[in-house]
Structure 1
Amino acid sequence: MPIVNHRRPSRRSYALWAASRVLLKPVLTLWPMTKTGMSGLYLVDRAAAVGPKPRGVVRESLTLGGRRAELITPSGPSGRDADTAVLYLHGGAFVVCGLGTHRSVAARFARAVALPVFSLEYRQLPAAGVGTSVADAVAAYVELVTARGFRRVVVAGDSAGGFLAAKVVEQAAALGLPRPAALVGFSPLLDIDLAAHPDRSSRSDAYLPKSTMRRLAPHLDSGPIPLVGARAIRDVAATAFPPTVMITAENEMLEPDVIELVESLDEDGVRAEAHSYAWQVHAFPMLVAHHPETLHAIEVTATFVADAIREGKTADDRPDQRAG
């Protein structure tokens, strides 16, 4: 079965869900999605950046695809694959968060997969719309597989970053670039017009309000670069997808699209699976670093990625592949 349900939550999950519902959801519901309101959200990442630094990794600031980025590499001796890397795209509804807020999850993922992780600071609202964010993500991927010479690149992201990661998959195929080694999504947004769909509700979501997404929607198509290709990832051809693994919180607003995509990919012969965790909150692997479900979600995605990379190497070593 491509959908795996995890319905034995840890005790602290209930407290996290309740706190998110009582404290976070009202704030997100009432926050003004005006240019002024969106502009002030950069302070969230600034505050997170001065917090505790992740252990067991080495961090390096650099430029990737013309944008500020951070390379996070597991520290200590290792037999790491020098041909493989991860491109991580942070979430935040295309308007908030950045390298600071997502440093912990990027570092934990780097340690789990034993690979360098490039975390990208792409342009976002109010300065730039989704098309520009996608262009930055694609430019970063292009640099990794061309100028930096990585033969295999895993693309990963949470929430809005999950949409960007999937668009990299789509655009890599459109541009004739090497297909990503794997696609990883933590509560990924898979349809930027989600707020307009009457069959989607945030009533059972711990903190993500549909009303805020509806108010944000008119800004998503602002320039300077227009969005090209699919607006809903389900419309991307299955042949473009690499092995795909996604994590969701059970009954969160974005989960139905994840289940639909994963089941569709599975039917089309693409290795794909989703893990749904009961009593969790949207993008929980990013929000709570030492949460039992976070540790498990990182572990299962790392195992999936390792298998996908191993299968990719085997395919590369086949005589017919070498001849091509």
Structure 2
Amino acid sequence: MISFKSRLAVITGAGSGIGRALALALAKEGASLALADINEESVAAVAKEAEAAGAPAARHWTLDVVDENAWRRFADEVEQELGMADLLFNNAGIARMGRFEHTESQAFQKVVDVNFWGVVYGTRAFLPQLKLRQGVFINISSLFGLIGVPGNTHYCASKFAVRGFNESIRQEFAEFGVHVASVHPGGVHTNIANSAEFDEGEEDREALLKRSNEKFLVMPPEKAASIILSGVRKRKHRILVGNDAKLLSFVQRLLPASYPKIMKRFLGGEEGPQLDPGPVQARMESPSLRSRFFSWTIRKNFKGKFADTSKPWDSDKIRAAVEKASRSKSMPNVVCEDINLDGEEGKAGVKGQWQRPASGSNSHTILYLHGGGYVFCSVRTHANMTRAWAEQADAQLFSVDYRLAPENPYPAALEDALAAYEYLLDQGIDANSIVVAGDSAGGGLSTALLLKIKERGLAMPAGALLLSPWVDLAGTGASLEANTDSCAFFTGDMIRRAAEHYVADDDEKNPFISPLYGDLEGLPPIRIYVGNTEVLEDDSLRLFDKAREHGVDAELRVWNDQPHVWPVFYPFFPEAKLTVAEMAEFSQRVTSLDEGVNVSSDKGSEA
């Protein structure tokens, strides 16, 4: 964690907006400030405010960021007057609106000069100081450095350039101990929009500004500054500022071909003001305090103990730790019955637990396959969630205790899952009343089971519900590395270790091991849940994308900053309760529909 007390922060564009908010927030934390802006009057006023707010020192300079020589003089004067800088916030920027065909090259160049070259010149000028101080560059890009938007070609080009610059120097500067943060604000209400220039042939300036401010620029700069400083403290490489930035960044990665249409809706274009990406729903509000506490507990007591993959895993020790940590609550409204049936010759047996509402009314059947990397967990570890699901859905749920690796690598788990499904059919249960479900490894196993059911020519279940499914044991998803720090449960290396135990000597891209590589055509309706900070995030995104490509009626629900498979923590925090209720709604709905009815939610996206 980075402390700002007694540090020297340099901020450009400090005369208003985010720059001013950063200056005052840092002043309150005891940082000294070197403030620069092209407007001498405004930056001088901010310097006085900063001193009054508690900054040990606050000096101001008039700076044109497109003048490289001015940058060199500025860096020298800062060092002479205040000492060497610890942090540089390259925040100065300008906006311009207009389509490319209406933009003169000189006007285009001006935007690129200020927004991009200003960052380059500033980084070069202060690099010697930050190398010696092992400091931090905080370079402000934009949401429009992640997504392209019509009418903003010059602005988007400049901010995309800043993003690429950041990602490159981050790797180069790491050897010096210098950190680089790329900041992507969404709709922040600052003077940059009010002072935006317009190209000829565009709409009326006042009308454009009013629409932009009302629909998009809503976050106070003080809130944006708080988010930025929080990300810097945590040494994040990419800082998304605002729910709009988080949501649209996610949508762009998920739907690269169709996100421009979504952008028009989001920004109030001719297709209407409402964001409606169809089967994608995103919950981007901040997590509850209870959710944060559970994430912290998991990170400390599980990830902290088992993240070291240089040593062999003690599977029994991991299983014992997980079982001990699981607290099954008594649910008098659910009756449990253990099943342990030997298989016929050459076939797997069936071991698991029936969980049925005490009322005796079972509208449908859920076949549940628990997660745990194919190495740990059991019916017991997931009982709070599965029993609650059975009760709320008025369904009977069969939770399978399949054989675990490394003692029983592939295909043991899949054989047990198939045996359990055939057991349900043998009980006279109609496939149209069955929902197959699972989490993490169990989510991947559920998907593999669907492929096996298709291969065997068995009747397909009515639907499938997957919680953070692990569907690529080849480990090609970018989030394995990108989310290693943010994921409360796992690192990418932990995922790879579990894959080695299950795959053994087989092909890691075998579709029955990694169903992401299988033919998904003909699968039943699927709903996928995933958190945007999980190492397995990309598994869910890619599975959803491929399912839609193959004609599967798939839904995706993404939650912000939730621990891996958060519904398993039912009833201990509200997000788990809400998701279990949604799971019950889904299983009731897909088992009550006639064949061929599309079940995707028409509620659009929640942000």
SS for the counterpart of 2:593 is helix
SS for the counterpart of 2:395 is coil
Residue equivalent to 1:6? 283
Distance in 2 of aligned mates of 1:66 and 1:137:
10
The change in CA–CA distance for 1:14 and 1:136 in structure 2 (over 3 A counts) is same
Residue equivalent to 1:170? 451
- The yes-or-no answer on 1:96 pairing with 2:381 is no
TM-score, scaled to structure 1 = 0.85
Residue equivalent to 1:57? 334
After TM superposition, list the pairs within 5 Å mapping 1:1-324 onto structure 2. 1-8=278-285, 9-30=287-308, 34=312, 37-44=314-321, 47=324, 51-63=328-340, 66-76=349-359, 78=361, 80-81=362-363, 84-145=364-425, 147-152=426-431, 153-194=434-475, 200-201=480-481, 202-222=484-504, 229-312=511-594
Please say if residues 406 and 502 of structure 2, whose CA atoms lie closer than 8 Å, have aligned partners that are also in contact: no
Q: Percent identity?
A: 26
Distance in 1 of aligned mates of 2:411 and 2:458:
19
The higher-RCO structure (CA 8 Å, 6+ apart) is: 1
SS for the counterpart of 1:200 is helix
Please say if residues 48 and 100 of structure 1, whose CA atoms lie closer than 8 Å, have aligned partners that are also in contact: no
Give the aligned residue type for 2:539.
D
Please say if residues 373 and 499 of structure 2, whose CA atoms lie closer than 8 Å, have aligned partners that are also in contact: no
Please say if residues 365 and 398 of structure 2, whose CA atoms lie closer than 8 Å, have aligned partners that are also in contact: yes
SS for the counterpart of 2:307 is helix
Please say if residues 131 and 227 of structure 1, whose CA atoms lie closer than 8 Å, have aligned partners that are also in contact: no
Distance in 1 of aligned mates of 2:358 and 2:311:
40
Tell me the CA shift for residue 139 of structure 1. Answer: 1.1
Please say if residues 503 and 513 of structure 2, whose CA atoms lie closer than 8 Å, have aligned partners that are also in contact: no
1:33-77 C-alpha deviation (Å, 9 max, x unpaired): 636x01333424654688543332000011256132100001125
Tell me the CA shift for residue 99 of structure 1. Answer: 1.4
Q: How many residues are matched?
A: 308
SS for the counterpart of 1:4 is strand
Distance in 1 of aligned mates of 2:279 and 2:456:
29
Please say if residues 451 and 520 of structure 2, whose CA atoms lie closer than 8 Å, have aligned partners that are also in contact: no
SS for the counterpart of 1:59 is strand
1:141-192 C-alpha deviation (Å, 9 max, x unpaired): 11212x2111122111111111111111000000000112111111111112
Distance in 1 of aligned mates of 2:379 and 2:499:
24
Give the aligned residue type for 2:334.
V
Greater alpha carbon shift after TM alignment, 2-11 vs 66-75 = 2-11
1:275-324 C-alpha deviation (Å, 9 max, x unpaired): 11112100111134332111111122222222211224687xxxxxxxxx
The change in CA–CA distance for 1:51 and 1:113 in structure 2 (over 3 A counts) is closer
Give the aligned residue type for 2:501.
H
Residue equivalent to 2:230? none
The change in CA–CA distance for 1:205 and 1:184 in structure 2 (over 3 A counts) is same
Larger Rg: 2
Distance in 2 of aligned mates of 1:20 and 1:56:
29
Distance in 2 of aligned mates of 1:200 and 1:100:
28
The change in CA–CA distance for 1:199 and 1:107 in structure 2 (over 3 A counts) is closer
Distance in 1 of aligned mates of 2:492 and 2:509:
22
TM-score, scaled to structure 2 = 0.47
